[in-house]
Amino acid sequence: MLEKGNWKVKTGLAQMLKGGVIMDVVTPEQAKIAEDAGACAVMALERVPADIRASGGVARMADPSIISAIMETVSIPVMAKCRIGHFVEARVLEALGVDFIDESEVLTPADESHHVWKHDFKVPFVCGCRDLGEALRRIAEGAAMIRTKGEAGTGNIVEAVRHMRAVQDGIRRLQALPEEELVAEAKAMGASLELVMEVHNTGKLPVVNFAAGGIATPTDAALMMQLGAEGVFVGSGIFKSSDPAPRAQAIVKATTHYQDPAIIAEVSKGLGIAMPSLDIKQIPTEELLATRGW
Amino acid sequence: MNTRKKIGVLALQGAFTEHIASLQKLGVEAAAIRLPQALESLDGLIIPGGESTTIGRLMLPYGFVKALRILSQDGFPMFGTCAGMILLSKGALDLDVETIGAMDIKVRRNAFGRQVDSFETLLPVPALGEVPFPAVFIRAPVIVETGPGVEILASLPDGAPVAARQGNLLVSAFHPELTSDLRFHAYFLDIVSAYAPNVIASEAKQSELGT
C-alpha cells in the first residue's frame, strides 16, 4: 500500500527544503545557474517580481512551456506560482508535475475573498502571510509550507522583517496565554482553535516557515534566518543583480552559516551591485503586493 | 562504559533538526555540525535528507568530503537518509557534485518521479523486528548497485533496495526522522556503541585533518 500526496509527504518535502534558498528563475539557463549555486529549489516564472511591479497589468501563471523547460533542465524541486484563488491554474501546475505550488500575492489575485482549498491536491502548496493569524488560515486550507510575504520586487528587507517578527511574536504570545483565553484569541486572530491550541502547546508553526520578499544580500538572508526563518526565497535579488552566480552562491552559504559573521563577511566580498531597490514609503498603497490575500 | 555518546548531524541544509530531536529522544547528545572542525569528539554522524546537490556543494568549500573520507577509513559510523544516502554512495547518474563515496553502492536520484509521486508505506525491515517500519519517501532515490560487503536491509515490493548497511555505515532512501518510530536511530546507535575507535589511529587522523 503506497499512500501518495498525504499530509506527511506534502509537509515532508518542505522539511527537506529547510536551511536552503529557493530562487526565482525565468529561463532554463537561470535555473541551471541557481542549481549550480546550491539552490534547494527554483521558482519557475515568466517575470521576476521586480519586472511584474514595473510593467503593471495582470500577472498570471507562467507559460507552461517555460515551466516544463525548467523542469527538464534541473534535478532539484521546481515550484511555480498560481494566482490567489485560481484553482484551475493550480490544477494545471499539478498536471505539469511541479513539485510545489506557490499561491502567491505576487500575481494578481483571481479571487479577493477565497484562497484555493489546498487539501484537495496531491501537490503541496506554500502560501504567504503577514502574521500568525494569516499563516494559520492558510494552513487550515491545506498549505504545507508558509512563507512570510515581505514586499516582493523591492530589494528592501523591512517588510520581511516586520512579517517575520509578527509571526514569531504571535507564537510567543499564544504560548504565554492561559488556555481559557485561547478561544477569544482564536476568534480575534481569525484562526481555528485547533491550530491555535497546537501552536500554544508546541511553540512553533505546524509547518515549515520561510522568509520572502526583499532579500537582496547574504546578510539579508542571514538576518531572516536569525529572526526564525527556516530558509529563504530570493526573487529578484539574484537575477536583477549585476553578477548573479557569485551572489547566488554567497546567499546559499550565508543561509547555512547564518550564525557565523566571519563566513558571511567572507562570502559578501566583491559581489557587485545589488538589485535596484525601492523605499516602501514611495510605493502607492494600491501597488503593495503584501496586502493581497487576507 | 558509561560515557554518553555524542552524535553529530550534518547541518548544512535539510531536515537536520528532526534527526537531532530523534537522537535526543533516545537519550544521546546530538550536535548540529556546520564545519569539519566540529567532527572531532563525535561518536558518529548522521547526514540528513535535503537536496543532495545543495548539501554536496556546501560540503566542498570547507573540506567536509576529504575529512569524512579519512574518518570512514577508520570505521567511523555514519547514517545517511535520502540525500545522505546519495552523498555516502559512490555516486549517482545525474549528480555532478562529488560524493563521499564511503559506501559501496550506486544510486538513482528521484527514482520514483516528481513530488506528486512521493509516498508513505509500511515497509518490512527484518533487522528491526516483525513490525513494519512507517517509511516516508520524498522524491526518493533507490540503490541500483551494491558491492560485496553491502547488506540490503529493506526492499520495496518490486525488489528495489531502499535501506542497507556496510560495516558501520547505514543508509535509507526514506526518512525515519519524519516519524515517531525511533527504531532506525536506535539501530544506528547500536552500531555506534559497538564502534571502539583506535585512539592512537584517531589521533593520527586528527593531525591529518589539521584539527
Residues of chain B in contact with residue A260, where contact means CB-CB under 8 angstroms, are 34
Mean pLDDT of A86-97: 98
Instruction: For CA atoms B33, B36, B37, B42, give the dihedral sign.
Output: positive
Give B183-197 pLDDT, tens digit per residue.
999 999 999 999 976
Q: Choosing from B145, B175, B203, B208, which is the catalytic residue?
A: B175
pLDDT at B62: 86
Give B133-189 pLDDT, tens digit per residue.
999 999 999 999 999 999 999 999 999 999 999 999 999 999 999 999 999 999 999
pLDDT at A127: 98
Q: Is this prediction's pTM over 0.90?
A: yes
State what percent of residues in chain B have pLDDT above 90. Answer: 85
* ipTM reported for the complex, 2 dp: 0.93
Q: Which fold has domain B6-208?
A: Rossmann fold (3.40.50)
Residues of chain A in contact with residue B34, where contact means CB-CB under 8 angstroms, are 256-257, 260
- With an 8 Å Cβ cutoff, is B97 touching chain A? no
- With an 8 Å Cβ cutoff, is A177 touching chain B? no
Q: Which one of A12, A18, A71 has the shortest CB-CB distance to B136?
A: A12
Give A213-252 pLDDT, tens digit per residue.
999 999 999 999 999 999 999 989 999 999 999 999 999 9
Residues of chain A in contact with residue B15, where contact means CB-CB under 8 angstroms, are 15-16, 18
Res B92 pLDDT > 50: yes
Q: In the block, which residue shows the cell 502607492?
A: A284
